[in-house]
Structure 1
Amino acid sequence: MPIDATQPYDDSNIFARILRGEIPSKTVYEDEYALAFHDINPLSPAHILVIPKGSYVSWDDFSATASDAEIAGFVRAVGKVARDCGLVEPGYRLLANAGLNSGQEVPHLHVHIFGGRPLGPMLSS
Structure 2
Amino acid sequence: MSLGIRGIRNNWRPLDNEEPRDYANRSAIQWNGVSIYPKRLGDVSMKHVVHGSILYLEGNLETKIFIDPITSFVRRIREIALQGNSRLLFLGNGSEAQPMQPPSKGVDDMDNDMRTLDISETPKDNAKEIVLGEQ
TM-score (norm: length of structure 1): 0.23
**Higher helix fraction (1 or 2):** 1
Higher-Rg structure is 2
TM-score (norm: length of structure 2): 0.22
